[in-house]
Amino acid sequence: MFYMNKTKSLLFFLTALFLCCLLIGCHDSSSDSNKSKNAETTWYKDADGDGYGDPAASLVQAAQPAGYVSNSGDCADYNAAVHPGAPELCDGKDNNCNGEVDETACQPESQKISGRITNLNDVQAFIRADSYLQLTPYPADGQMPFTTDAQGRKIYTSDLAVIDMPVDGAFVFETYGLIPGQYVIAVQRLNPYPAGSGETPVLATTGGQPALIVIPENSDTAFELDLGSVNIPAPASAADVSAGPAVPTSVSATDGAFEDKIRVTWNASPGATSYEVYRADAFAGQKTKIATTAHTIYDDVTALPCGKDYYYWVIAVNASGTSDLFYNDLGFIRCPLPPDDNNGNGSGTEPGTPIITEPETLVAPTGITASDGLYPEKVAITWNAVEGATSYEIYRHSDCCGERTKIGTTSGRFFYDTLDDSIVFSSINYYWVKAVNSKTTSPYSAFDTGYKLLKPLTPTNVAASDGTFVGKVHVSWLPGVRSAAPVECGGGCGNPVIVEKITQYEIYRADWAKGSKTKIGTTSNTWFDDFDIPCDTCQNIYYYWVVATNAAGSSQYSDDDTGYAYRTLPDPNDIRATDGTIPFCVKITWSTISGAKSYDIFRSPSLDGVKTKIGSVPSDCVTCNTYHYLDTNPVCPEIYYYWVKSIDQNGYTGCNFYFYDTGFCSGD
């Protein structure tokens, strides 16, 4: 019995001594920063001052240091607008740090529609230099609204995506935000089809039906649609284009010559058997056929309001077809003069009422102002009233010299010049105004220049950073610059310049030069930071394009440039954490990473939980193949996840946490 008790005592003593040595060894291998943990707190650096800290930048101490907070939820500590609870924006970033990007904040993107026109050679007679393709809504009844330009060409009204007419027939629309419904691709500004052709200029299938693009209800995802082989419906022979008579020339409408009508005249067209007269209350308004006549004169005696301008066109007709709708002129009915009682023409005015008489001469209008890029569809001209004037005539020319064209008459003090792009709106124009009454016309006013808002020019000098920044690519560019309009007649015209007006820029990215472009953000600046890229050891190269936009439309894609983020060191991929082999400690080991200056160790209670930095180990051993760290503050035997991050010589590390191991300690 004595020996048995002695043996038990000896075993107890040896066991206690072993455990004590382990505890002393674990404690000694720890840094001083791990002492007195119960009295210390983990603080996270809040570099952007939004109240949320960076989980990858922490320190442990009792008192809260300046610039640190206890909340570790910030996923982008360089941007105060990004933090938990922030509103999610459509900017390619995880604004609210919930692990999702742009959720519910963006319209559907990357809507790609492609196809190939197979009959371009057969319809070349109808295609002009300014013809183009445009996405257009397609009503259920198939009746698409349109206007007709000065050449008689149908232009379908749409504000959707536009692309140039493809030379080889292959086309691609890259757009976003199409709402549910039916769409077709209109072939805009084709030469007009002959009367009776029955063809509608929208891309059609080989069976002759419109090639429909159907966006279903509740569609909020990106899609790609290939229409396959399509064609431009057109008359069987291009000879049909010129089968009709020539366009009537010298179309003229009277300007206040009559109080009861507007007289329209024109030159005879060889071969014409009759003429159709059309009228509209605006240049781009709906044209109404008001008469068919065999003569070259027509009196429009419709009860029209006096002093209001109307546009007139004339079409020549014969058995072979019709001419184009091309030349036009403005006309108006003269308003009657007030009655003159002193001459026996009274109409009940009181005796002694002053008689208003029109002056024999008028001064030129002053204060003429033409708008500079305010409107995408017109130039607004205003001026001061002239005493004794009953109306005003507005004139325009491409420079301050040469023959001026009268473009309208009005009784007010403003006028909108809304003529077609291809005729007058490619550059700056000069405008003059004359004052008019029944007895005289004033001299020309001084001129002012004006221009409509043009689509922006394509941005230039696009440059994307190559490895300069961790976790982002910085993209910069320059706006397009318009050259000054040539001055035809010397310095008297001045040197007006169209000012480029841009609402915003759209930035696009693709994985390769011919890849599908994805819009990743918009900005009013001439630079953009792309944070939505991997912060990793691979130099993933991206292609970037920029598009300028304003109310008039969008520019073409800029030339591309490639960029990539800073290449960080790889993290150890053989992390090993002990599983209950050490009381009250977990030992983490890993292999050496070439080029590492140090290693940061992170811990989390779950794989997707907040990762807390628990220590750092310097890479100060030249001959070491492995490193280790002792976690002296776990709760035993709770399982933890461990990561090790490599820090390079510049102090940078990868943004992602890939490789991990679980571990736990024994004891309680």
Amino acid 509: pLDDT? 93
Architecture of domain 460-563: Sandwich (2.60)
For 25, 113, 212, 231, 260, the CA distances from 224, given in Å and listed in that order, are 64, 6, 14, 20, 60
For residue 8, is pLDDT > 90? no
Q: Is 332's pLDDT higher than 80?
A: yes
Q: What is the DSSP string of 402-459?
A: SPPEEEEEESSSEEEE---HHHHTTS-EEEEEEEE-SS-BPPPPPPEEEBPPPPPPPP
> Which phi-psi region, left, alpha or beta, contains residue 461 (left: φ > 0; alpha: ψ -120 to 50)?
left
Least confident of 12-16, 297-301, 413-417, 423-427: 12-16
Cα separations (Å) of 290 from 293, 444, 527? Answer: 10, 34, 56
| SS3 state at 184 | strand
Choose between 624 and 559: higher pLDDT: 559
| pLDDT over threshold 60, residue 26 | no
Distance CA 172, CA 48 (A): 42
H or E segment to which residue 223 belongs: strand 223-230
Top pLDDT among 219 and 190 is at 190
Residue 267 contacts residue 343 (beta carbons within 8 Å): no
CA angle 421, 423, 425 (to 5 degrees): 45
**How confident is the model over 77-118, as pLDDT tens digits?**
767 788 898 887 766 577 888 877 766 665 545 678 888 998
Q: Are strands 542-550 and 576-577 parallel, antiparallel or unpaired?
A: unpaired
Identify the CATH class of 244-331.
Answer: mainly beta
Q: What is the DSSP secondary-structure string of 263-279?
A: EEE----TT-SEEEEEE
pLDDT at 464 over 90: yes
Collapsing DSSP states into helix, strand and coil, what is residue 103? coil
pLDDT at position 553: 85
Q: Is 70 exceeded by the pLDDT of residue 24?
A: no
pLDDT of the residue at 53: 86
Q: Which of 323, 133, 129, 112 is nearest to 232 (CA)?
A: 133
User: According to the CATH classification, is domain 357-450 in 3.30.9.30?
Assistant: no
The fold of the 576-666 domain, in CATH, is Immunoglobulin-like (2.60.40)
Query: Per residue in 104-159, pLDDT tens?
Result: 665 545 678 888 998 887 888 888 877 889 999 888 777 787 776 656 677 888 87
Provide the 8-state DSSP code for 493. G
- Does the global pTM surpass 0.75? no
Mean pLDDT of 466-490: 78
Q: Which of 328-332, 416-420, 488-492, 568-572 has the highest mean pLDDT?
A: 568-572
pLDDT at residue 32, as a whole number = 41
175-179, 335-339, 624-628: least confident range: 335-339
- CB of 163 within 8 A of CB of 133? yes
Residue 472 has pLDDT above 50, yes or no: yes
Q: Which pLDDT band holds residue 72 (cuts at 50, 70, 90)? A: confident
Q: Which is higher by pLDDT, 617 or 30?
A: 617
Q: Mean of the pLDDT values across residues 251-265? A: 88
* CA dihedral of residues 376, 424, 163, 193 (deg, nearest 10): 120
pLDDT at position 302 is 84
State the pLDDT at residue 25.
Answer: 43
pLDDT of residue 33: 38
Please state, rounded to an integer, the average pLDDT across all residues of the chain: 80
- Residue 538 pLDDT more than 70? no
pLDDT in tens, 400-429: 887 888 988 888 787 888 765 444 445 788
pLDDT one-digit tens code per residue, 582-596:
999 999 999 999 899
Tokens standing for residue 549? 């936009």
**What is the rounded average pLDDT of the residues 372-379?**
80
Quickly state the pLDDT bin for 435 (edges 50, 70, 90).
very high
**For residue 661, which amino acid is it?**
D
Closest CA to 129 of 173, 191, 70, 79: 191
Same fold, 357-450 and 576-666: yes
Q: Where are the domains of the chain?
A: 31-106, 111-241, 244-331, 357-450, 460-563, 576-666
- Per-residue pLDDT at 14 exceeds 70: no
pLDDT at 603: 95
Q: CA 60, CA 431: separation in Å to the nearest integer?
A: 74
Residue 344 has pLDDT above 90, yes or no: no
Q: List, in order, residues 6 or more apart from 556 with CB less than 8 Å away.
A: 458, 547
**Range picked from 256-260, 426-430, 489-493 for highest mean pLDDT:** 256-260
